[in-house]
A and B are shown apart, each in its own frame.
Chain A
Amino acid sequence: MKTKLSLLSAAVLSASLMVMPAISHAAIPLAVDGQQVPSLAPMLEKTTPAVVAVAVSGTHVSKQRVPDAFRYFFGPNAPREQVQERPFKGLGSGVIINAEEGYIVTNNHVIEGADEILIGLHDGREIEAKLIGSDAESDIALLQIKAKNLTALKRADSDELRVGDFAVAIGNPFGLGQTVTSGIVSAMGRSGLGIEMLENFIQTDAAINSGNSGGALVNLNGELIGINTAIVAPGGGNVGIGFAIPANMVNNLIDQIIEHGEVRRGVLGVSGRDLDSELAQGFGLDTQHGGFVNEVMPDSAADKAGLKAGDIIVSVNDRAIKSFQELRAKVATMGAGAKVKLGLIRDGDKETVTVTLGEASQSTETSAGAVHPMLDGAKLENDKKGVEITDIAQSSPAAASGLQKGDIIVGVNRTRIDDLKELKAELKEQQGAVALKILRGKTSLYLVLR
């Protein structure tokens, strides 16, 4: 009897002792920074001051062709085009990434065409920002403000992200004021959406709406993992499909903007397509994802590194890629001169090559503001004789200088220039006013930039 009883009480005691660890198991380990309640508040206290509101104002210029009937009434000298200038205001978000320098990252589409950019800080201060540089194709812009006591976000390695990781969007939707929404990483390496020229998005179901553009997507440590940029919105609002430019891509772009005032696109020199199951079967491959190289341009970076048509590029700097578009977006944002390790499958064997990226061919259009401030608003392209102005924005500094569409710049002061590269180099040397030698139709003239 006694032994029975003691065994019984022992069992009861041990059972009661067991309950304690069982309870601590049942409570799901929802501790964030030692807080018992599953709340993002402690993380957000540190991160929200780094996300700012971006208010822009400017003038939209729209041109309308004057109908021929009116030309009949007003005579042959009547303007061909009627120019309408409509002031606009816009709202977006931005992220402070360097507190000392006051650098703020946002989307290019938030600030594009703005004459004035005003930053609204979390503490209520409003400060005018300067545009350091922007890249339309990847939709990133870098601003700078002069202010003290700023908070910057640390940037996480966005290549380390996995689908299913928590993601928190911070921004200024509909101009409501700072708003935090939470979700998860829904997909990585999203491309082929046709939103930007260069796409390699993080997809998230954290609610992103109009005005969130340029805002932060952070992880649970409060580190920046992406810049919220776009959504799929069949009804106009959020349906749980949002896209952010990954932090690593942002890093590459702003490094270049800080160094050169522009993005110097890296060029690999291959054309190709996505590897798909048909191609993979045809080539007898195990892999089903990657970029298939159709053609290697002669003398390009890829050619120099020994890439060949038929190679399948499966990784960039040891990170697997899914599509040719992802490869393109990654390479193009790395910057000219960057060394890139490419993983290849060639004739069924795995190989790696290191490529030093070339610079984008000078014939591509350049934003002229980076060449000379007084050329801002003009689009420059190489021409046989020199550098052609292919387009010019109304009431831009370039237009005010007297430049016209179709002008060909052939010289700076007394030095002859042949292409954009020489023009850039020559203008960099000059201090103060410079005289541009211009070919306009059959006449040549000098215009002075001040």
Chain B
Amino acid sequence: MTLKDTALYIGKAILFGLIMAAVFLIVTPLITGQGNHSTFFQQRGQNGIELSFSQAVRRAAPAVVNIYSLSINQNQPLNSGSLQGLGSGVIMSKEGYILTNYHVIKKADEIVVALQDGRKFTSEVVGSDSVTDLAVLKIEGDALPIVPINIEIPAQVGDVVLAIGNPYNLGQTITQGIISATGRNGLSSGYLDFLQTDAAINAGNSGGALIDTSGQLIGINTAAFQIGGEGGGHGINFAIPIKLAHSIMGKLIKDGRVIRGALGITGEPINPVMAQILNLPDLTGVMVTGIDPQGPAAQAKLRPRDVITKFDGEIVPGVEMLMDRIAEAQPGTVVTMTIIRLGKYYDVPVTIGENFGEE
């Protein structure tokens, strides 16, 4: 191969590459531009760029409703219900399913849902779950606004978010902040699961929407960190991530409640001292510390100090994963727990029971 050949070869390649690149350059903006991939800010105006979240608000806000829970006073049957609870909710589907917080509608005799266009509906409770503080309501209406949801991309610390709700019954209010911390998405739930945000959330915001800057739902606003009875204002607020809320909603619509599996054990993570005493290979697994005598684990003859290392063949790295797997398991199914007892491995079949939760 002569020098000329090489030069020709390289030249061809470069030329071809440049042409391809040019084609890409022309085509990609057309595709991505139409895909509306970044509506983080909307641009407007001639003298400079104006930045606003109004586009995101316009997409999501109509689907965020005001929820009034009324209690009927039995002694005064002629009096219509008095306002007992105030909150917000999010219309999730055109069938009229609304996600809100359980604590918003907990003690209600009658629930009134007010849309932003002025329409009012009385609604029924489809189902509720006290563990995750979620409830699903249903209204019958035409052309209901629906919130777009973002279930695939998890929220990250630092993402800009907007909270939509009805604080103090002032009327619909949008507040802005960032994701301050994120948690898990498992079903066993606890405070850890929440998205934490510094967008202002106050009484009446409960059950409302936390959206991203493209207007998609990423969480259900639930609680504000409070000191004494002082109200919010500390910039520490919590929302249930949409992935968890969405799966709970599906279960509530299907069964009217969330059916959680139960094993009837208490457990704790392995610390190095225990690992040495029990002669364990490493720190993975969960040590059983207590057994409910009527529970499924007792029936399967599990004992305290057993160390659960696998759940149905899946390695158990820690307590949270095991709790999630148990909660997600269908009651009645048989799972195989791999345990270490006195330094030996055993496979123990356990029939999952049901966790009826605590009210």
Question: B-side interface residues toward A, CB under 8 Å?
Answer: 9, 12-14, 16-18, 20-21, 23-25, 28-29, 32, 37-38, 40-41, 43, 47-58, 61, 117-120, 162, 167-168, 170-176, 199-200, 202-203, 230-233
Contact = CB atoms under 8 A, between A and B. Distances in A.
B48 A186 contact: no
Contact of B41 (A29, A183, A186, A239): A29
Contacts of B168: 232, 241
A277 B14 CA distance: 68
A139 interface: no
A241 B49 contact: no
A10 B40 contact: no
10 closest Cβ pairs, A-B complex: A240-B200, A288-B118, A13-B17, A164-B53, A17-B21, A164-B54, A239-B233, A14-B20, A162-B54, A164-B57
Given A164-B55, A277-B119, A2 B24 contact: no
A280 B119 CA distance: 9
**How big is the A interface, by class?**
35 or more
Contacts, number: 156
Contact of A21 (B29, B119, B162, B232): B29
A17 B12 CA distance: 17
22 contacts: A5-B9, A9-B13, A11-B17, A13-B14, A14-B20, A14-B24, A18-B25, A21-B25, A29-B49, A32-B51, A33-B48, A165-B53, A184-B53, A184-B176, A186-B173, A190-B171, A203-B170, A221-B50, A232-B167, A234-B203, A239-B202, A288-B118
Interface string A25-54: 100111111000000000000000000000
B21 A289 contact: no
Given A32-B51, A187-B173, A220-B50, A276 B118 contact: yes
A7 interface: yes
A430 interface: no
A25 B25 contact: no
A10 B233 contact: no
A237 B32 CA distance: 45
A61 interface: no
A382 to B, nearest CB: 38
Contacts of A400: none
Given A14-B20, A203-B173, A31 B118 contact: no
A280 B118 contact: yes
A164 B52 contact: yes
A6 B16 contact: yes
A184 B213 CA distance: 13
Contact of A238 (B53, B58, B176, B233): B233
B51 A220 contact: yes
Given A162-B52, A184-B53, A187-B171, A10 B13 contact: yes
Contacts of B162: 164, 184
Given A220-B51, A221-B48, A288-B118, A14 B57 contact: no
A208 to B, nearest CB: 12
B173 to A, nearest CB: 5
Nearest to B231: A234
Contacts of A407: none
Given A17-B25, A240-B202, A163 B17 contact: no
Nearest to A34: B48
B121 to A, nearest CB: 10
Interface in A190-216: 190, 193, 203, 205
A235 interface: yes
B175 A186 contact: yes
Contacts of B203: 234
A18 B24 contact: yes
A153 B231 CA distance: 35
A147 interface: no
A447 B80 CA distance: 61
